[in-house]
A and B are shown apart, each in its own frame.
Chain A
Amino acid sequence: MSGRTAAIANVLLVSTLVVPALAALVLPLCRLVVARVVALLACLWTLAASGALLVGHHPARSAVDPWHEVDWAWVAALRLRFHIGVDGISWPLVLLTSLLVACCVFYLIFGVSGDQAEAESQRRIPLLLSLVFALQTAMLGVFMSLDVVLFFVFFELTLAPMYAVIAGWGGPHRRPAAMKFLLYTGLGSLLLAIGVLLLVSAAGTADLTQLSAPGGAGLSHYTQLAVFVLLLLAFAIKAPLWPLHTWLPDAHTQAPTVGSVLLAGVLLKLGSYGLIRLTLPVLPEAARSAAWLLGAAAVAAIVIGALVCLAQTELKRMIAYSSVGHMGFVLLGVASAAAGSEIGLQAALLGNLAHGVITSLLFFLVGSVKDRWGSTELTACVGLAARLPLLAALLCFGAVASFGLPSLAGFWGEAFSMLAAWQQVDVWWRLYATIAAVAAAIVVAYFLRALYYLSKASDHPTDVFPENVPQAPSSTTFSLKTPGGRLAEPLTAGELLAVVPLVLVTLVLGVWPGGILSLSAGAVAAIISGAS
Chain B
Amino acid sequence: MIGKLCAALLPGLPLLAGGVGLLLPRSSKRAAIWLAVSSTGLVALLALWCAADALGSFGVIGVKFTPIDLSFTLGSFGELDVTAVLRLDGLSALVASLVALVALAVQVYSIAHLARDERYVPYAAQLTLFTGAMLLVVSSADLITLLIGWELMGLCSYLLIGHDRTNPAAPAAARKAFVVTRVGDIGFLLGVVLLGAGAGSFNFDQLGSASAATQTAAGFGLLAGVLGKSAQFPLHTWLPDAMAGPTPVSALIHSATMVAAGVYVIARLDAIVLSSDAVRLTLATVAGVSILLGACAAATNDDLKRVLAWSTVSQLGYMLAGFTVSSPIAPPLFHMFTHAAFKALLFLGAGAVIVAVGSSSMARMGGLRRSMPITAVCAAAGLGALAGVPPLSGFWSKGSLLALADAAATSDGGASGLAGAIVLGCGTLAVPITAFYCLRIWLLVFGGSYRGPAAPRDSGWLTLGPLIALTIPTVLLGAVPLYGQLGNWWAAAGANYGAGALLPGEALTPLLDGSLVVLGAALAWSLWHRNQRDPARVFGRAQPILADGCYGDAMQRALVVTPVLAAARMARAVNEHGVDGAVRGVGLAVRSAGGVVSRGHSPLARYVSFAATGAVGVALLMLLIAGITA
Question: Quick check: is A347 within 8 A (CB to CB) of the other chain?
Answer: yes
- Contact (Cβ within 8 A) A406 B147: yes
- Contact (Cβ within 8 A) A385 B575: no
- Contact (Cβ within 8 A) B147 A514: no
Against B, the Cβ 8 Å flags (1 = close, 0 = not) of A220-251 are 10110010000000000000001100110000
Return chain A residues, CB-CB under 8 Å to B148.
Answer: 406-407
Q: Which of A347, A433, A512 contacts B77 (CB 8 A)?
A: A347
Return chain B residues, CB-CB under 8 Å to A416.
Answer: 77
Determine the distance from Cα of A187 to Cα of B607 in the docked complex, in whole angstroms. 11
Question: Quick check: is B529 within 8 A (CB to CB) of the other chain?
Answer: no
Q: Which of A405, A412, A437 contacts B186 (CB 8 A)?
A: A437
B window 114-170: CB within 8 A of A:
122, 144, 147-148, 150-152, 155, 158-159, 162, 165-166, 168
Return chain B residues, CB-CB under 8 Å to A194.
Answer: 618, 621-622, 625
Return chain B residues, CB-CB under 8 Å to A407.
Answer: 148, 151-152
Return chain A residues, CB-CB under 8 Å to B75.
Answer: 412, 512-518
Q: Which of B193, B564, B587, B607 contacts A180 (CB 8 A)?
A: B587
- Shortest CB-to-CB span from A201 to chain B, Å, is 9
Q: Can you name the residue of chain B whose Cβ is closest to the Cβ of A347?
A: B77
Question: Quick check: is A154 within 8 A (CB to CB) of the other chain?
Answer: no
- Contact (Cβ within 8 A) A512 B162: no
Q: Can you name the residue of chain B whose Cβ is closest to the Cβ of A414?
A: B189
Interface of A is mostly: helix
Return chain B residues, CB-CB under 8 Å to A222.
Answer: 628-629
Determine the distance from Cα of A412 to Cα of B192 in the docked complex, in whole angstroms. 13
Return chain B residues, CB-CB under 8 Å to A504.
Answer: none
- Contact (Cβ within 8 A) A521 B76: yes
- Contact (Cβ within 8 A) A183 B80: no
Question: Quick check: is B172 within 8 A (CB to CB) of the other chain?
Answer: yes
- Shortest CB-to-CB span from A511 to chain B, Å, is 8
A window 290-321: CB within 8 A of B:
304, 307-308, 310-312
Return chain B residues, CB-CB under 8 Å to A175.
Answer: 603
- Contact (Cβ within 8 A) B77 A445: no
Q: Can you name the residue of chain A whose Cβ is closest to the Cβ of B578?
A: A243
Q: Can you name the residue of chain A whose Cβ is closest to the Cβ of B22?
A: A393
Q: Give the interface size class of chain B.
A: 35 or more
- Shortest CB-to-CB span from B379 to chain A, Å, is 32
- Contact (Cβ within 8 A) B614 A198: no
Q: Can you name the residue of chain A whose Cβ is closest to the Cβ of B84?
A: A511
- Shortest CB-to-CB span from A192 to chain B, Å, is 11
Question: Quick check: is A525 within 8 A (CB to CB) of the other chain?
Answer: yes
Against B, the Cβ 8 Å flags (1 = close, 0 = not) of A184-209 are 10110010011001100010000000
- Name the segment of A37-45, A71-79, A450-458 touching the other chain: A450-458
Determine the distance from Cα of A388 to Cα of B368 in the docked complex, in whole angstroms. 42
- Contact (Cβ within 8 A) A193 B186: no
Question: Quick check: is A342 within 8 A (CB to CB) of the other chain?
Answer: yes
Most buried by B among A412, A433, A438, A448: A448
Q: Can you name the residue of chain B whose Cβ is closest to the Cβ of A389?
A: B26
Q: Which of B82, B190, B565, B587 contacts A464 (CB 8 A)?
A: B565
Determine the distance from Cα of A213 to Cα of B411 in the docked complex, in whole angstroms. 67
Question: Quick check: is B205 within 8 A (CB to CB) of the other chain?
Answer: no
- Contact (Cβ within 8 A) B77 A438: no
B window 563-583: CB within 8 A of A:
564-565, 567-572, 575, 579-580, 583
Question: Quick check: is A210 within 8 A (CB to CB) of the other chain?
Answer: no
Question: Quick check: is B370 within 8 A (CB to CB) of the other chain?
Answer: no
Question: Quick check: is B331 within 8 A (CB to CB) of the other chain?
Answer: no
Q: Which of B82, B152, B570, B583 contacts A184 (CB 8 A)?
A: B583
Return chain A residues, CB-CB under 8 Å to B65.
Answer: none
Q: Which of B186, B569, B570 contacts A440 (CB 8 A)?
A: B186
Q: Which of A242, A393, A456, A524 contacts B171 (CB 8 A)?
A: A456
Q: Can you name the residue of chain A whose Cβ is closest to the Cβ of B619?
A: A194
- Shortest CB-to-CB span from A428 to chain B, Å, is 15
Question: Quick check: is A419 within 8 A (CB to CB) of the other chain?
Answer: yes
Given known A-B contacts A346-B77, A441-B182, A190 and B572 have beta carbons under 8 A apart:
no
Determine the distance from Cα of A114 to Cα of B614 in the docked complex, in whole angstroms. 45
Question: Quick check: is B600 within 8 A (CB to CB) of the other chain?
Answer: no
B window 167-213: CB within 8 A of A:
168, 171-172, 174-175, 178-179, 182-183, 185-186, 189-190, 192-194, 196-197
Return chain B residues, CB-CB under 8 Å to A198.
Answer: 622, 625
Question: Quick check: is A182 within 8 A (CB to CB) of the other chain?
Answer: yes
Determine the distance from Cα of A451 to Cα of B158 in the docked complex, in whole angstroms. 11
- Contact (Cβ within 8 A) B568 A311: yes
Return chain A residues, CB-CB under 8 Å to B572.
Answer: 307-308, 311-312
| Number of cross-chain contacts by CB at 8 Å | 187
Determine the distance from Cα of A223 to Cα of B148 in the docked complex, in whole angstroms. 46
Question: Quick check: is B73 within 8 A (CB to CB) of the other chain?
Answer: yes
Question: Quick check: is A386 within 8 A (CB to CB) of the other chain?
Answer: yes
Given known A-B contacts A190-B617, A465-B569, A444 and B182 have beta carbons under 8 A apart:
yes
Return chain B residues, CB-CB under 8 Å to A310.
Answer: 564-565, 568
Given known A-B contacts A433-B190, A455-B171, A517 and B76 have beta carbons under 8 A apart:
yes
- Contact (Cβ within 8 A) A415 B152: no
Most buried by B among A175, A220, A389, A407: A407
Question: Quick check: is A381 within 8 A (CB to CB) of the other chain?
Answer: no
Return chain A residues, CB-CB under 8 Å to B147.
Answer: 406
Given known A-B contacts A186-B610, A445-B179, A452-B175, A458 and B168 have beta carbons under 8 A apart:
yes
Q: Can you name the residue of chain B whose Cβ is closest to the Cβ of A159?
A: B607
Return chain A residues, CB-CB under 8 Å to B175.
Answer: 448-449, 451-452
- Shortest CB-to-CB span from A427 to chain B, Å, is 13
- Contact (Cβ within 8 A) B152 A243: no
Q: Which of A160, A386, A437, A445 contacts B189 (CB 8 A)?
A: A437
Q: Can you name the residue of chain A whose Cβ is closest to the Cβ of B603?
A: A167
- Contact (Cβ within 8 A) B194 A448: no
Return chain A residues, CB-CB under 8 Å to B185.
Answer: 441
A window 367-406: CB within 8 A of B:
385-386, 389, 393, 396, 400, 405-406
Q: Which of B82, B155, B189, B587 contacts A418 (CB 8 A)?
A: B189
Question: Quick check: is A343 within 8 A (CB to CB) of the other chain?
Answer: yes
Determine the distance from Cα of A512 to Cα of B122 in the docked complex, in whole angstroms. 26
Determine the distance from Cα of A433 to Cα of B186 in the docked complex, in whole angstroms. 11
Question: Quick check: is A505 within 8 A (CB to CB) of the other chain?
Answer: no
- Shortest CB-to-CB span from A189 to chain B, Å, is 8
Q: Which of A243, A448, A465 contacts B565 (CB 8 A)?
A: A465
B window 540-571: CB within 8 A of A:
561, 564-565, 567-571
Return chain B residues, CB-CB under 8 Å to A122.
Answer: none
Return chain A residues, CB-CB under 8 Å to B150.
Answer: 406
Most buried by A among B77, B122, B607: B77
Given known A-B contacts A514-B74, A518-B76, A406 and B152 have beta carbons under 8 A apart:
yes
Given known A-B contacts A437-B186, A441-B186, A246 and B583 have beta carbons under 8 A apart:
yes
* 20 A-B contact pairs sorted by A residue (CB < 8 Å): A167-B603, A194-B618, A194-B622, A197-B622, A220-B629, A226-B625, A242-B579, A246-B575, A307-B572, A341-B78, A393-B122, A406-B144, A419-B193, A419-B196, A419-B197, A444-B179, A445-B182, A452-B171, A457-B171, A464-B561
Q: B: which residues have CB within 8 A of A?
A: 26, 73-80, 82, 122, 144, 147-148, 150-152, 155, 158-159, 162, 165-166, 168, 171-172, 174-175, 178-179, 182-183, 185-186, 189-190, 192-194, 196-197, 561, 564-565, 567-572, 575, 579-580, 583, 587, 590, 603, 606-607, 610-611, 614, 617-618, 621-622, 625, 628-629
Smallest CB-CB A-B distances: 4 pairs = A342-B78, A514-B75, A307-B571, A310-B568
Q: A: which residues have CB within 8 A of B?
A: 160, 163, 167, 175, 178-180, 182-184, 186-187, 190, 193-194, 197-198, 202, 220, 222-223, 226, 242-243, 246-247, 304, 307-308, 310-312, 341-343, 345-347, 385-386, 389, 393, 396, 400, 405-407, 412, 415-416, 418-419, 422-423, 433-434, 437-438, 440-442, 444-445, 448-449, 451-452, 455-458, 464-465, 511-518, 521, 524-525, 528
Q: A183-B587, A448-B158 are in contact. List 15 more A-B contacts (CB 8 A).
A: A182-B610, A190-B614, A310-B565, A341-B78, A412-B75, A415-B189, A416-B77, A441-B186, A442-B564, A445-B564, A457-B171, A464-B565, A517-B75, A521-B78, A524-B78
